[in-house]
Amino acid sequence: AQKITQTQPGMFVQEKEAVTLDCTYDTSDPSYGLFWYKQPSSGEMIFLIYQGSYDQQNATEGRYSLNFQKARKSANLVISASQLGDSAMYFCAMREETGNQFYFGTGTSLTVIP
Amino acid sequence: DAGITQSPRHKVTETGTPVTLRCHQTENHRYMYWYRQDPGHGLRLIHYSYGVKDTDKGEVSDGYSVSRSKTEDFLLTLESATSSQTSVYFCAISQEGLNYEQYFGPGTRLTVT
């Protein structure tokens, strides 16, 4: 079974609008970490935001927030006030307590339309 | 920015030749990882290391070997390159602990002809 599932291969959003990128995960570990990364067309991987499984509040970093629903095993990324520079691939990832690996989804390509 | 570099950044090689990619870090992080990225597959783990001379396989380890003789260096070797190994290869590092993210190198684009 896939550890991380991203069901939206591509998304479009109007500039200045908010967009939600979906991520669901599968783990039996009680402790885990969830991460989002951005990969622009230039190719580098950029860390955006982290959510711990025991965190009581949703993580926020500037225009990025993570909508964490533990019971549904979802960790959706919300980007507010989209900008043209947000056009990129976005990857969701998980790190389990019982291992040293990070598991990545297949990514969502976001295009911001002017 | 985390100090992590990859060399070479680009390489074209012929089928059947050996290839070694190098990852170098200046952060003294315990964990180092090699991934390959292909369209539609996201990032797939090849091998990772949790200390000097301590390595383990990832989901796509066939045809690849790794070595880590120093904390700062993690080498990925394709013993006999095949066209299916044409890909972009990323190295990443991380500290121990659930709340530590990975830092990625700039990537190496490998083409096997």
Digit-coded pLDDT (tens) for A36-62: 999 999 999 999 999 999 998 999 999
Contacts of B110 in chain A (CB under 8 A): none
Closest chain A C-alpha to B2 CA, distance in angstroms: 11
Q: Would an 8 Å CB–CB cutoff place A12 in contact with chain B?
A: no
Digit-coded pLDDT (tens) for B19-59: 999 999 999 999 999 999 998 888 999 999 999 999 999 99
Asked if A47 lies within 8 A of B101 by C-beta distance, the reply is yes
In chain A, the percentage of residues whose pLDDT exceeds 70 is: 99
What is the identity of the amino acid at A66?
L
How far is Cα A11 from Cα B35, in angstroms, rounded to an integer? 25
| Facing B98 at nearest CB: one of A45, A95, A106 | A95
pLDDT score at A23:
98
How far is Cα B94 from Cα B100, in angstroms, rounded to an integer? 7
How far is Cα B43 from Cα A65, in angstroms, rounded to an integer? 23
Asked if B98 lies within 8 A of A43 by C-beta distance, the reply is no
Digit-coded pLDDT (tens) for A83-112: 999 999 999 999 998 778 899 999 999 999
pLDDT score at B109:
97
How far is Cα B108 from Cα A60, in angstroms, rounded to an integer? 32
**pLDDT higher than 90, residue A68:** yes
What is the identity of the amino acid at B73?
D
Residue B71 or B2, more confident:
B71
pLDDT-derived band at B2 (thresholds 50, 70, 90) equals low
Asked if B42 lies within 8 A of A91 by C-beta distance, the reply is yes
Residue A2 token pair? 């896939």
Closest chain A C-alpha to B58 CA, distance in angstroms: 8
Contacts of A6 in chain B (CB under 8 A): 42
Q: Would an 8 Å CB–CB cutoff place A29 in contact with chain B?
A: no
pLDDT score at B96:
87
Give which of B37, B55, B60, B98 to mutate to test A binding, by max A Cβ within 10 Å: B98
pLDDT score at B42:
87
Any idea what DSSP says for residue B102?
A: P
pLDDT score at A100:
81
**Stretch B79-100: mean pLDDT:** 94
State chain A's mean pLDDT as an integer: 95
**pLDDT higher than 90, residue A22:** yes
Asked if A43 lies within 8 A of B92 by C-beta distance, the reply is no
Q: Contact, A93 vs A4, CB < 8 A? A: yes
CB pairs under 8 A between A and B: 54
Asked if A43 lies within 8 A of B107 by C-beta distance, the reply is yes
